[in-house]
Amino acid sequence: MKLTLKKFIFALLLVPVFVSFSQAQTCNDSLVYDIDMIKQNAETMLVYSVTAAVKMETGESLLAFYLEGKLIKLTVDNSENEGYMIAELFFKDGFIRHVAEEYRKDGKFYKDYYYFNNNKLICYENEHSGDYIDSILYSVAEKKWLEKADKYLLAIQ
């Protein structure tokens, strides 16, 4: 009976490990890689781009980078305001593809990364803790950045 009880307890201890491994990542590595290549290509092409700067009434400074008339990157600087935030948004074919956001919370600086495919958030990571996993956080983050992107796109037109 002791041996069976030990096996049962051991099995119970393994269940959370298997569950956590199965939920450890919701990001699709292949799509993330493709989006990272879009970002890298945009960064490489910045030397050939035309820029436009806009200061929003909310205090955010926008710097848009255009290549052959198409928006490839938008830098948002809100560091002078109370809610410190700097973000880089990358676009391809008129869609937001990647956001790198740096912000301050409780006196510490954090960086989050958002990967989009056809206006759908497919990966949401923190530079230290990895994938946020939580579907509610994904929904909130997706809505937040799609709304912000629309607001910024209206401002630079």
Mean per-residue pLDDT of the chain: 83
Query: Exposed e or buried b for every residue in 105-125, given b needs 16+ CB within 10 A?
Result: eeeeeeebbbbbbeeebbbbb
CB 31 within 8 A of CB 122: yes
Domain ranges of the chain: 26-156
- For the chain, the first-to-last Cα distance in angstroms comes to 74
- The pTM score is 0.79
**110-148 per-position pLDDT tens digit:** 899 999 999 999 998 887 666 667 778 888 899 999 999
List phi, psi (to 5°) of 27: -75, 140
